[in-house]
Structure 1
């Protein structure tokens, strides 16, 4: 088997949003090795640049920040090629279950240790968006503590390593329900939440990439038509209750056609990240350079 014939290596976050990808492989002949990245988008960026995966499905702000930062080496390693989820992501703001001194987002102006999965990840970037809502200062009040995984973030806010962290609402909810962490607020991304990227090593064109788009589109169609199957899969194979899976289904809208990216979404994301202090104008790639496949 030649290099070009090898199945695509697809990085994904093993959460409820991955359900259509599972269907694409189970029912629609997606030829791929699905590689879970529970620590999120930032870890996938590292793996794309190391040649360990070919495709990543992750958070919009993570992909854009990874290509927009100053000091970018080489060609950046990947480009944005598709739109996976159209709806914004709700990030829950969490602290330790016994942290009685932390009661609301305003408490974080004085309890400033922010747990993140990795520097540059979605949890890191959203801290700047949160900062922008809390203080008029252009400088974030937070100190960032990289803790790698969701489990380590939960431990960190309970043992004092961090004061708070942000993670997707429904992924966090079961840990509010069992009392291991406490919710003090939430914040939405000001952009559609999930995009697909491809390694520059398989661009600009790849028959495998076209096949991926086709299979994922069919996976999304199956998802949209089979609510009860979704709930069973999410509540038995992933870390969610049936009630939470059912509630989440009412909040999410996947792309009808995942191929291509609306360049304005990337431009708007760059604008917010610059305002939040994550990106600096004139550094890194432009929004036009980040996109390899535009929506027609």
Structure 2
């Protein structure tokens, strides 16, 4: 049995992985796929890949591209979710802010530097014509930390996946002022280069198994009810999310990588660009 350590956020996007693990699909192939939930998100997973704590990460595209360019010895092997991530822009329920424009020059809560909540705050600032170099941050680690930060006024707003934050909006903890979609596919699968070199067939089989599940995921009977129950969401919200979400079984192509890097470079998120061969590896 070959042990492989994989990490991802504890969100609805990753239910296909859990179903495959629970059904023993990796085990049948002699693979002990050990899943770890990482609520801190992409910045934390980048560090885990660097430190060898994880072999594979299901990770936000912009964050792992930035980190590979910055020296992370990993590669993107496939797009996992083709559709954009819809980032909700949230303030505390009792905040005086009423519009996105009110947030200019205000402090944004982020899970950690290099995370999606950090990088997309910069994208959002550019979208609104703000100075991206003067955005201030409050490091909160997790969504629970963001609740505390916004509630006590340590920060002014927080960007996180729009549907995962919906229960907090429904409960009156957050108010959502708007949304900011990623200009690229939102999740990719990244693998440490050492693992790719030593166990290419294992990685290939893992991708085949997950791809067979994501192709048919939306057709699983009552999958909307399963998701709503597991992630404490309203059924209509999950149904809307399912309509908007498209999984992928394809590699990241060079044209899309160039688009991502060009925007990250223009925003001064990266100070150099990597080559396609350095960032993306075929299996």
Q: Which TM class, normalised by the smaller chain length?
A: over 0.9
- Partners in 2 of 1:254 and 1:97 — Cα distance? 33
- Count of aligned residue pairs for this structure pair: 277
Instruction: Show structure 1 runs of 5+ residues with no match.
Output: none
- Partners in 1 of 2:158 and 2:55 — Cα distance? 29
Deviations along 1:232-272, whole A, 9 cap, x unmatched? 321222242322212211110111x24x3212222111111
Q: 1:227 to 1:117 in 2, by over 3 A?
A: farther
CA deviation after TM superposition for structure 1 residue 28, in Å: 5.9
Match of 2:167 in 1: 174
| Between 240-249 and 58-67, the greater mean CA deviation after superposition | 240-249
CA deviation after TM superposition for structure 1 residue 227, in Å: 5.1
- Partners in 1 of 2:245 and 2:265 — Cα distance? 27
2:210 to 208, 216, 231: 216
Deviations along 1:13-40, whole A, 9 cap, x unmatched? 1101012112222336123011101111
Matched, 1:164 2:141: no
Matched, 1:99 2:95: yes
* Secondary structure in structure 2 of the residue aligned to 1:250: helix
Match of 2:267 in 1: 276
CA deviation after TM superposition for structure 1 residue 45, in Å: 0.7
Match of 1:29 in 2: 25
- Partners in 2 of 1:288 and 1:271 — Cα distance? 16
> Please, what TM-score do these two structures have when normalized by structure 1?
0.88
Matched, 1:53 2:48: no
Instruction: Show structure 2 runs of 5+ residues with no match.
Output: none
CA contact (8 A) 2:90 2:157 kept: yes
Pairwise CA RMSD: 1.7
Matched, 1:233 2:229: no
- Dislocated runs of 4+, deviation >3 Å: 285-288
- Partners in 1 of 2:124 and 2:134 — Cα distance? 10
Match of 1:132 in 2: 126
> Please, what TM-score do these two structures have when normalized by structure 2?
0.92
